[in-house]
Amino acid sequence: MSLFEKHRSVLTNAVDALHKRDFFALYPENPSPKVYGETADADGQQRFKSHLGKKFEELLQEPGDRWVGEEESPYTLESLGISYPAASTETLISRSLNAFDQWRKITADTRAAVLIESLERLKDRFFEIAYATMHTSGQGFMMAFQASGPHAADRALEAIATGYEELQRVPRAVTWDKPMGKFNITLDKQWRAVPKGIGLVVGCSTFPTWNSVPGLYASLITGNTAIVKPHPTAILPMAIFVAELQKVLAEEGLDPHIVQLAPDTLGQQITKELAEHPDVVLIDYTGGSDFGNYLENLKGKAVFTEKTGVNSVILDSMENPDEVAQNLAFSVLLYSGQMCTAPQNFFVPEAGIKTPGGTLSFAEFAEKFTGAIESLVNNPKAAPHVLGAIQNQRTSDRLSETAKLPGRVLLQSKSVENPVFPKARTASPVVLEVAAENREVYSKELFGPVVLLIKTKSTVQSIQLARDLAKQHGAISCGAYVTDDELKETIADQMGLAATPVSFNLTGGIYLNQNAGFSDFHVTGGNPAGNASFTNPEYVVKRFTWVGFREPAKAAAV
């Protein structure tokens, strides 16, 4: 059985899921021993520990000219001591160019099969990747397992399926016959999907695989080679992905340099060198807006960005205030607000929030909301796992400055003891009451566990502010609590114009921070929070070009 036949049904089901948009997940998100094996957790943890203090020598790319590594665990505040082979920009580019012709000339079927096989291999390393993500990003174990393992793999599969489908959209060859009256013009026509060249994937420190693999696999399925430049403080999770990709490539007789890891250090970063190199024509980026804007302005590049945004929650009316408060409290605690979809600005009308039991005043909602946060923070069985750890010290430093912003502090941030990791860098959310007229306070992303309760004149003003902020500064998510259908449609319409998806009336076990592969588009590409959306067709079609060839049709043999 060929590799393509082995994975044909997976690919078919994934393409089908793109159109249905209902629940589809190839990789189970529950780290159950029944799914992954009785010893999978312990084996993964031990394999992670085996990397510590050593050179990472799994990569099949040629050795570089030096070894680099400066990752530090947010839980232990100690160096991981792992080093990775680093090479110059010219070396990385040269290797990628040498591998390009081989990769682009094989069929889309073969590319899809190789890429899906790599995901199947990575499934056996999800626990190892989870611990690698924990001790580089600061995510709690459950989030690290789900986001960097199953969810990342599903998002990669989504990119493969989207790219594969677009490559099938145009027939490879037809005979074109145009009647001209007494005669016909007949041409043989062919079309080729020609990849652009070398793709650069620039990773982030908070979601090192989930944000990187969609662009990586989108470039690879469309025939481009790829260079992965992970964040210097979160290399190991993507190093494992690249290593497994290279192993499958080599086993199939392909050049492992089709995909390469390009590690660097905070003091000597090579991102600009790579991005500005004329042979790099595709760039995927997740991170701050300043650097993202610089990348978007580079000439001759197709750039796909996810940048910073200001996410809002509009509160007008609700059925069960206690359930809403608990849901929103969990949302702001989750990974200490270090998610691009985390809510920051909560708009509450000064007249209060309508409920079946009467109007809930601004002060009453604030008390209920902060009480729900405190209840979670003071739960020793839940808080350490939900909050995780603060990825870097700069976020903690900014957090201490936040309490000095204009406004009234409703809830102070505090460190939360982690019984397993007593040195863990932790922080609970700070909650401030801010006047609507103080737009300079809430018109930017305050990264980390920062929550602003903003008193507005009315829900109409709340909608206007949320919409304008999204248009001007970007937004990746929005929440709304409203029981009136007409007002609900108004919010959907106005936030839709700001290219911002809205989660309405969420309670229970689903949160506006979360996006589902094969169903939710992550970032729309329509506001300043990013110019791309994974995974829609535009995310892949810009990575290749349809080129046509035609000639007079050959006469049919007699």
What's 392-436 look like in SS3? CHHHHHHHHHHCCCCCEEEECCCCCCCCCCCCCCCCCCEEEEEEC
Segment 363-382 mean pLDDT:
97
Q: Which residues contact 153 (CB under 8 A, 6 or more apart)?
A: 26, 27, 119, 122, 123, 126, 213
**pLDDT for res 229:** 98
pLDDT per residue over 443-492, tens digit each? 999 999 999 999 999 999 999 999 999 999 999 999 999 999 999 999 99
For residue 557, pLDDT beyond 60? no
pLDDT per residue over 497-535, tens digit each? 999 999 999 999 999 999 999 999 999 999 999 999 999
Q: Is 558 exposed, middle or buried (0-12, 13-18, 19+ CB in 10 A)?
A: exposed
CA gap 50, 45 in Å, rounded: 9
CB atoms within 10 A of CB 447: 21
CA gap 212, 204 in Å, rounded: 8
**pLDDT for res 198:** 98
For residue 60, pLDDT beyond 60? yes
CB of 506 closer than 8 Å to CB of 486: no
For residue 558, pLDDT beyond 70? no
Going along the chain from its start, the domains and CATH numbers come out as: 3-308+532-546 (3.40.605.10), 312-504 (3.40.309.10)
| Mean per-residue pLDDT of the chain | 96
CB atoms within 10 A of CB 321: 20
Q: Confidence band (pLDDT; 50, 70, 90) for 556? A: low
pLDDT per residue over 118-160, tens digit each? 999 999 999 999 999 999 999 999 999 999 999 999 999 999 9
**pLDDT for res 403:** 72
Segment 231-251 mean pLDDT:
98
Segment 90-105 mean pLDDT:
98
Sequence letter at residue 21: R
Residue with tokens 């839980």: 75
Sequence letter at residue 93: I
CB of 361 closer than 8 Å to CB of 397: no
CA gap 89, 86 in Å, rounded: 9
SS3 (DSSP) at 50: helix
**pLDDT for res 397:** 86
pLDDT per residue over 252-308, tens digit each? 999 999 999 999 999 999 999 999 999 999 999 999 999 999 999 999 999 999 999
Sequence letter at residue 165: E
CA 404 to chain centre: 31
**pLDDT for res 422:** 96
**pLDDT for res 496:** 98
Residue with tokens 């002060």: 363
What percent of the chain shows pLDDT beyond 70? 99
Residue with tokens 């939710």: 520
Q: Which residues contact 552 (CB under 8 A, 6 or more apart)?
A: 186, 187, 188
Residue with tokens 């020793």: 380
**pLDDT for res 54:** 98
Residues of 230-266 as b/e, b for ≥16 C-beta within 10 angstroms? bbbbbbbbbbbbbbbbbbbbeeeebbbbbbbbbbbee
For residue 56, pLDDT beyond 60? yes
What percent of the chain shows pLDDT beyond 90? 96
Dihedral (Cα; 85, 91, 92, 97), 10-degree rounding: -150
pLDDT per residue over 388-426, tens digit each? 999 999 998 888 888 788 899 999 999 999 999 999 999
Q: Report the greatest alpha carbon distance in the chain.
A: 90
CA 171 to chain centre: 33
CA gap 538, 471 in Å, rounded: 21
What are the residue ranges of helices labelled H in 263-392?
271-276, 289-296, 321-333, 362-377, 383-387
CA gap 447, 244 in Å, rounded: 33
- Pairing relation of β-strands 408-411 and 430-435? antiparallel
Strand ranges (E), 120-183:
173-179
For helices 362-377 and 321-333, give the axis angle rounded to 10 degrees. Answer: 50
CA gap 480, 459 in Å, rounded: 11
CA gap 223, 164 in Å, rounded: 10
pLDDT per residue over 311-360, tens digit each? 999 999 999 999 999 999 999 999 999 999 999 999 999 999 999 999 99
Among 156, 153, 157, 158, which residue's Cα sits nearest to residue 129?
Answer: 153
**pLDDT for res 192:** 97
CB of 123 closer than 8 Å to CB of 148: no
**pLDDT for res 399:** 84
